[in-house]
Every structure is written in structure tokens, then in C-alpha cells.
Chain A
Amino acid sequence: MNPNVVELDNVSFAYNGAPVLADVNLRIRQGDFLAVLGPNGGGKTTLLKLMLGLLTPGRGAVRVFGEAPSRGRERVGYMPQLATAGREFPITALEVALMGRLGRSSWGWRYNRRETEGARQALERVGMADHAGRRMATLSGGQRQRVLIARALVTRPELLLLDEPTASVDAEGRSRLYDVLTELNRDVTIVVVSHDLSIVWNAVKSVACVNRSLFLHEGREITAEMVRMMYGGHPDADCPVELIAHGVPHRVLQPHRDEGHA
């Protein structure tokens, strides 16, 4: 059996002629927990959308569970970046989780009891079952994100694709989120797209950096090369504060070139 959940071969993608990804090769093994890091506009979200089959590569091939992404979709759970609707949207955590059923839900305007039960179980897995009836607007940032993860879990996927799960989540919420993800990773392969580097020290097994091209690193350390890829490597570039503010500061960083800036 193919141990690779996701395979990308020489994948290139351009939006209206502007190249976003170039010659990306990537293998994601079953059970992996991959963090995809990179600057905004570096192609992280595009990479996820290629895996979901929402975008088709200009060149190269994408396979999910050995098939075209659109066919593997049933086995993939997806959490897009923060919901587009305002926080005021009148909807409960349970209703959000139920949305994960869409596409193969029962006909009509309501979900049936079995579907509702499944959504409750998904909320249970992320520790949000007690908040099922709460309106999303009254939840904290971290709780909201956990509900969105539950929504992705409803169909019991084998691969979970998360886009910026720690956006607008405070430090405490983040560590709770990492715990949930680590627990889920026991039986689900996870890919997290983020520009929050603190995730690397907590949960992930491997790291990839995307800035048009992709650089895969087996293992959790961040190299100077990766930082250069993410932040451009300007000698004058601001010290990436978020990188060293959490976890063990400076553990894997080369000394600053210009000590006067530090």
C-alpha cells in the first residue's frame, strides 16, 4: 500500500500569469504532522487548495490517497482561514459543526438525528461538547477554532488540512489547540498552514517552508535557510519576533549578522 497520503510532483501554479508555486515536490506520509510555514502570499493557502482539488495545477500532478484530489475529497477534512462572515452571525457551535456534513447530508432543511449525533461527537473530540448550544460570537478565539476543527472532523477524515488555525487565538488558547491537534494526530494525518512559528515547537513532526518554491525539512528545527526563505533574508529585515518569542528562543538560529540591530 502506498504510504503517502499526499503526493505533489513538479507542481506549478499561477494566478492570472503571476507564478505562486514553482516546481513543488512533496510527499506527506501517513501519520505525519506537517507544518507549512511561509510569508503571506508565499503560496501556503494555494498549496492546500491544490490538495483539496479546489485549484488545478498549471503543471505537474497532485494525488491524494493515490487519486485525483477531487476524488479523494471525501477522506479529507478542511478548515479554511477564519470564516468570512462577521462574528455577529447568528449560529451555534453545533450548527457550524454540522456544516461538515454538507455534500452528503440528508435531503431537506434539517440534519437528521444521526448527523447531529456525529457533530456532537466531533465537538467532543475537540473538547467543545459542552458548548454545542452556544452562539459562535460568545466563544473565545481558541474555542471558535476548535469548533471549526470539529466541523472538519465530522466526516471522520484521514487527512486534516488546517489553514491558519491559530489566527486570533491567545497564548493559552493556542496551547490548548496544540494539545487537541497532537491528540488527533494519533489517527489522522495533519497538515497545518501557518505563519505562527510557535506551532513548530509544540506538535509537529516535520516542517516545510513555502515561498514560491517548497523546502521540506524532516524534523522540527528551523534553519537559518528557512528563515531567509520566509522573511527574505535582508540583513536589515526586522528580527522575526514571533519566531523567538515562544518555545526555546534562538535555539536553532544563527547569530544576528548585524548585532547592532538585536
Chain B
Amino acid sequence: MLELLHYDFMRNALLAGLLASLACGMIGSLVVVNRIGFLSGGIAHAAYGGIGLAFFLGWAVLPTTLGFALCVAAAMAWVTQGRRARADTVVGVLWAVGMAIGIILVDLSPGYQVDLLSYLFGSILAVPESDLWAMLGMNAVILGVILVFYKEFLAMSYDVEFARARGVPVRSLYYVLLGLIAVSVVMLMRVVGLILVIALLTIPPYLAERYVRSLAAMMLLAAAFSALFAVCGLWLSYAFNLTSGASIIAVGAAAFLAVSALEGLRPHRPEPN
């Protein structure tokens, strides 16, 4: 496997996978403990509208998609805050409308667009170095925000009523959290594609949660799991000539099933007092 690293594209792919794993660990953990997986899936899919916009206007894909995803995230935050009635339905609508906008804009764009699929299913083997720097920057933003607001995020995720009573700006933090999800989605787009993003945001933290005693540890372990899936998936993809994004998700899914099966087999221990 090591000889693969002689290829530039493989080195970049590996680096992209590792960088994406950091975001996965941090943001994915917040997604899981706040139970907003559906919402995150919605942001990821609706972000396709940004890709359509970029092609239509001839703008750079990464920043355009990021801007569009942030707008979608703000809309989702506005719709879902305070557990409004039928919020889930509206999320579903935004999810589909974002994609539809993207598809229509691409239809209207001149020329034949070959690599559109790469945004839906990832193209980790074609990550240019400039994207790596962008990913590094986005990771830095996510890490910075989480370090500054860690206590507040923890309180909001654990007990929103109490956090509010202690004067934590819960509503603003919720917007920030969905904004960070949008950033991660754009980052992961290169690695596994918009459609598969949600698996990488949820499987590693779900697996990590049972082995840790704090949210910070959950983030670290989830990042490690995610990196492991990325490396294994990449190798499988190379060895068997499979789509890289799907291979990474498949490895994660296998781990998910294996751990769930083991949990099922293990006799239930009484909780220690």
C-alpha cells in the first residue's frame, strides 16, 4: 500500500480524507448528539443548488457552493428553531428544492458538464492541492469556533432549557452550528460527495459515542474512526477499482453493522450503581 503514496493524486486523496475526518469528528458529533441528522442531510443535498449556480454563472465551485450552503443552513435554522410544527416537512421540501434548482441551473448552463457526478459521489482521487488548502482553512474555522464555544455547545446539546436559563444565546448558537454543518458539507463534498455526506457525518460519531465519557473525546474518536474508514475505503477503491466515496461509506457501514451486531449478541449487563 505504501508505494501508492508515490503518486501525487494518492497523497492528495489521503490528505483530503484525513482533513475531512477532522471536520467529521467535530461536527458529526454535534449532529449526532443534537439529533439533527435529517437536517444535515437536507443541507448536504440542497447544497447541490450551489453547484448549479456556480456552473450557470461561471463562478468558482467551492466558494459558490459554500455561500449557497450557508444560505440553506440559515433557512433551515430559521424553519426548525423552537421545534416549529411541521418543521421536518419543510426541511424535506428545502432538501429537494435545493437539488432541483441545481439541476435546472446546470441544464441552463452552456456546454456539457462531465464532472457533475463527482460532486454528488465524490472525487477524492482528483483533489487539487488548492482544495487541500481550502479544506485546511475550513477545518481551522470549525476548530476555532468549537474551541471558543465548547462549553456553550455542550450545554445547549445536553439541556437546552437549562442553557437558556443560564443566559446562553441558544438561538444564535443554533445558527452557528448549522453554518458549521454547511462548511463541513462543502468540505466533504470532495471526499464522498453530497449524497453520501450524511453517512460520514453520523456513522463515526455514532460508533465513538459508546466508548467515551465526554463530547470532546467523542469528537476525537469519531475523527479517528472517520480517518480509518477513509484510508481503508481509499485502498479498497484502488485495489478493486471502485468509486472511492462509496467505498469509504461501505467500510463505515460495515463497521456500523459489525458493532451493532456485537451489541446485540452481548448479554445485557445490569447498570452498575
Residues of A within 8 A of B (CB): 52, 54, 73, 78-81, 83-86, 88-92, 95-96, 99-100, 102-103, 105, 108-111, 133, 135, 137-140, 143, 151
* Contact call A96/B168, Cβ cutoff below 8 A: no
* Contact call B165/A54, Cβ cutoff below 8 A: yes
Most B CB contacts (10 A, CB to CB) among A83, A92, A102, A137 go to A102
* Contact call A102/B214, Cβ cutoff below 8 A: no
* Contact call B271/A102, Cβ cutoff below 8 A: no
Distance in angstroms between the alpha carbons of A133 and B217 in the assembled complex: 14
Total residues of chain B contacting the partner, CB 8 A: 33
Q: Which residues of A contact B151 (CB under 8 A)?
A: 99, 102, 105, 109-111
Cβ-based interface call for B154 (8 A): yes
Cβ-based interface call for B147 (8 A): yes
* Contact call B213/A92, Cβ cutoff below 8 A: yes
* Contact call A54/B213, Cβ cutoff below 8 A: no
User: How far apart are A153's CB and chain B's nearest CB, in angstroms?
Assistant: 13
Q: With A85-B33, A89-B33 given, can you name 14 additional A-B contacts, CB distance below 8 Å?
A: A78-B165, A80-B162, A83-B162, A85-B157, A88-B209, A89-B158, A90-B33, A99-B158, A99-B163, A102-B151, A103-B168, A111-B151, A139-B273, A140-B271
Q: Which of A91, A99, A108, A140 contacts B166 (CB 8 A)?
A: A99
Cβ-based interface call for B218 (8 A): yes
* Contact call B163/A102, Cβ cutoff below 8 A: yes
User: How far apart are A62's CB and chain B's nearest CB, in angstroms?
Assistant: 15
Cβ-based interface call for B155 (8 A): yes
Q: A73-B167, A90-B214, A109-B150 are in contact. Are A138 and B271 (CB under 8 A)?
A: yes
Distance in angstroms between the alpha carbons of A92 and B218 in the assembled complex: 13
Q: Which of B194-248 contact A (CB under 8 A)?
A: 209-210, 212-215, 217-218
Distance in angstroms between the alpha carbons of A83 and B195 in the assembled complex: 33
Number of residue pairs A-B, CB distance < 8 angstroms: 87
Q: Which residues of B contact A73 (CB under 8 A)?
A: 165, 167
User: How far apart are A162's CB and chain B's nearest CB, in angstroms?
Assistant: 12
Cβ-based interface call for B101 (8 A): no
* Contact call A103/B166, Cβ cutoff below 8 A: yes
Task: Specify the chain A residue showing the minimal Cβ separation from B162.
Answer: A80
Task: Specify the chain A residue showing the minimal Cβ separation from B221.
Answer: A90
* Contact call A140/B209, Cβ cutoff below 8 A: no
* Contact call A138/B159, Cβ cutoff below 8 A: no
* Contact call A54/B273, Cβ cutoff below 8 A: no
Task: Specify the chain B residue showing the minimal Cβ separation from A105.
Answer: B151
Q: Which residues of A contact B111 (CB under 8 A)?
A: none
Cβ-based interface call for B11 (8 A): no
* Contact call B214/A85, Cβ cutoff below 8 A: no
* Contact call A109/B148, Cβ cutoff below 8 A: yes
A-B contact pairs, 30 of them (CB 8 A): A52-B165, A54-B165, A79-B162, A80-B161, A83-B158, A84-B159, A85-B33, A85-B157, A85-B158, A85-B159, A89-B33, A90-B33, A90-B209, A90-B213, A90-B215, A99-B154, A99-B162, A99-B166, A102-B151, A102-B152, A102-B163, A102-B166, A102-B167, A103-B167, A108-B147, A109-B146, A109-B151, A110-B150, A110-B151, A135-B213
Most B CB contacts (10 A, CB to CB) among A80, A105, A111 go to A80
